[in-house]
Structure 1
Amino acid sequence: MLVIDAAAVRTLYPMTEAIADMRTAFTLYSSGRVRQPQRCMTPGAAEGEVLATMPAYVPSIADGAGNGEAGAYGGGFGVKIIAVQPGNPARGLDPHPGVVLLLDPVTCVPLALLDATSITEIRTAAASAVATDLLARKDAEVLAVLGTGAQAREHIRAISRVRPLREIRVWGRTPVRARTLADECASLLPTSSDRTTVFGVTRAAEAVAGADVICTVTAAVEPVLDSAWVGPGTHINAVGAVFPGRRELTGDLVARSAVLTDSRESALTEAGDLLVPMREGRLTVGHIRGEIGEVLLGTCAGRTSDDEITVFESLGLAVQDVISAHSVHRRAVGEGTGIDITLSAPGGTAALRQGIQA
């Protein structure tokens, strides 16, 4: 089994490949070819502490490529196990530690163990990039990012790969962090983006005024994006609210928008942005236009006019993690990166027992 740490994941997994992988993941999921239960959320003893278990079986690309599928990998079982530990930042640790485990597609022997935090950061932003490419106006050039954490950085990297950005505005609850992230943006953008203006702002309304694309990547419980601030034709990637009682968007904004998601099933059990206004009687299930994978498959409309406001409600899917992990593993093997360990002897417990007795 190959162990691949966070630094190796970030080196081995360029955003352009991650974006291509997310197109594949969306297509496979919405075509019904992925076997994936809802993620299991196990609460811990501390407030906000939870363990998320996300298994999936992903078919080999050889089982039927097409519809934008890219790359070649063996498929098989995989699982992401990731925790939410709100106390970790005070300890100088990541608040979302975890691992992705891949099993060999033929033998089911553990194939690779990868850092989940880095994979989650990259694939989540890449998924938003796919949605932006499909739903944002073709002339979109102003990006607003609400949030200053790791997802904010990755979303700047990702969105700049699918639209030539003239301006990026960053807002966060701590103004100094917004300014710091704005100062770091030069290292996140493509080399062709030397004329992009980036700055931090002190008010969310200022960040989104006139923006073409908005990414909400916060840990907010109550909405941070108001309908009155959002103009016609805007595309929104709503990423931070992945629990039923949390939301980043007001009910008014969701009600006036065309909503697409990664998974209807996930949206109807986890997306507070949708569930709260549904409980208030302001929305029905039918307000969800469809899944991003269905847009890729041509079975669902994306943007229908230049004035339409579109929302991509991102919850995250195990298939995204498994496909990402396969790409990283393939590159790691090719470059001789990672630590190779043996968990059990060939032939199983009996062979191991014989070796010890010998």
Structure 2
Amino acid sequence: MLVIGQSEVVELLSMKSCIDVMESVLTDLSAGQAVQSLRQVLPLQEGNLLGLMPGYLPREAVAGAKIISIFPHNHRAGLPSHQGAVALFDSVTGVLKALVDGQKITAIRTAAVSAAATRALAREDASTLAILGTGEQAKSHLKAMLLVRPIRRVEVWGPTVAKTQQFQAEMSQKNDVEIVVAESAQEAVKDADIICTVTASAKPVLSGAWVKPGVHINAVGACRPDDRELDSALVKQSRLYVDRLESAHHESGDYLIPLREGTIEPSHIIGEIGECFSGKINGRGTLTEITLFKALGLAIEDLAAAQFIYNEAIRLHKGIEIAF
């Protein structure tokens, strides 16, 4: 069995490569050529969670699962909120091939999926990006968005001013783009062509009254049926795409809450983003439409990323081989 750690995941899985891998595997999923079970979540103490995400990629002859801990308040102790590993099994022999760090896979593949959706749905001339949130996903989403649209200005907002300023200073050194600290979430998004919500908030941080026509939104942070980052008005006025219909129907408060309110109908979801990638459903129709991609994070994304990393590790002789 090959053990592949964090530093090697970052080395072997570039954001650019991951965007293409995510587009391919989500297309396969929507076409019935990849299989996964709904995420199983075990509640722990103080609102913490342990998640199990199994899946199967027939094209790659690999099956496996990500097991991940979600501790939202870990930042207080200087620890990441998401930690875990992806186990890869050969689906022909049942052999455990690899154990791959899950924290960095989650950071990279989540932003890569948003970038693939942005590439499909955002206006071609989108040049102003707003990021709500300042954690690891904010950093990875900035990197990903710069690869798919000609971003010239970034407005960032977070609930803690010091952390927002730290994000601005750190990311300005690493990226050749103007990054500005916004005084409020409303100020951050008012001129944005693309908005990424990557917060840990359980209540809306983004309102439909604040956004301009033609914006594209990637909503990433909320992943439980009673949590949401978007208000109902915004969801109602948007063309809504999801990563997986089954997941949205069970896990997405951003969809389920306005549905329960009667603000939207079940038919409000246009479809899965993989269907958009394949051309089965339409993407943006006009320059003034508001498009919304709601991501919950899927097992097949983790497996596809881990399999790519495994193949690169074999090719480049990376990782640690252990008897198991």
Asked whether 1:317 is paired with 2:303, we answer no
Aligned length: 324
1:322-341 to structure 2, matched below 5 A, reads 322-341=303-322
Aligned match of 1:253: 234
> How far is the alpha carbon of 1:85 from its aligned partner?
2.1
Contact 1:100 1:115 in 2 (8 A): yes
Asked whether 1:10 is paired with 2:10, we answer yes
Identify the match of residue 154 of structure 1 among 113, 137, 140: 140
> How far is the alpha carbon of 1:128 from its aligned partner?
0.2
> How far is the alpha carbon of 1:177 from its aligned partner?
1.3
Alpha-carbon distance in 1 for matches of 2:91, 2:38? 22
1:159-308 to structure 2, matched below 5 A, reads 159-186=145-172, 188-189=174-175, 194=176, 196-308=177-289
Alpha-carbon distance in 1 for matches of 2:274, 2:47? 31
> How far is the alpha carbon of 1:47 from its aligned partner?
2.1
1:32-111 to structure 2, matched below 5 A, reads 32-44=32-44, 46-60=45-59, 74-111=60-97
Contact 1:183 1:199 in 2 (8 A): no
Structure 1 gap ranges (5+): 61-73, 344-358
Contact 2:61 2:92 in 1 (8 A): no
> More displaced, 285-294 or 96-105?
96-105
Alpha-carbon distance in 2 for matches of 1:93, 1:183? 21
Give the SS at the match of 1:47: helix
Deviations 1:216-250 (A, max 9, x none): 00000110001111010000000001100000000
Identify the match of residue 111 of structure 2 among 117, 121, 125: 125
Aligned match of 1:25: 25
Give the SS at the match of 2:107: helix
Alpha-carbon distance in 1 for matches of 2:256, 2:212? 24
Deviations 1:152-174 (A, max 9, x none): 00000001000011101110001
TM-score by length of 2: 0.97
Aligned-partner residue type, residue 202 of structure 1 = E
> How far is the alpha carbon of 1:185 from its aligned partner?
2.0
TM-score by length of 1: 0.88
Alpha-carbon distance in 2 for matches of 1:181, 1:41? 31
Contact 1:179 1:201 in 2 (8 A): no
Contact 1:57 1:76 in 2 (8 A): yes
Alpha-carbon distance in 1 for matches of 2:25, 2:61? 11
| Higher Cα Rg, which structure | 1
Contact 2:155 2:181 in 1 (8 A): yes
Contact 1:157 1:188 in 2 (8 A): no
Deviations 1:95-139 (A, max 9, x none): 211110001233111101011110011000000000000000011
Alpha-carbon distance in 2 for matches of 1:117, 1:204? 27
Give the SS at the match of 1:307: coil
Aligned-partner residue type, residue 168 of structure 1 = V
Structure 2 gap ranges (5+): none
Q: 1:148 to 1:103 in 2, by over 3 A?
A: same
Aligned-partner residue type, residue 21 of structure 2 = D
Contact 1:156 1:188 in 2 (8 A): no
Contact 2:5 2:100 in 1 (8 A): yes
Alpha-carbon distance in 2 for matches of 1:247, 1:291? 19
Give the SS at the match of 2:88: strand
Aligned match of 1:63: none
CA RMSD after TM alignment: 1.2
Aligned match of 1:354: none
Deviations 1:48-99 (A, max 9, x none): 1211111001022xxxxxxxxxxxxx33211000011245333332221111
Give the SS at the match of 1:161: helix
Contact 1:170 1:179 in 2 (8 A): no
> How far is the alpha carbon of 1:202 from its aligned partner?
2.0
Contact 2:172 2:178 in 1 (8 A): no
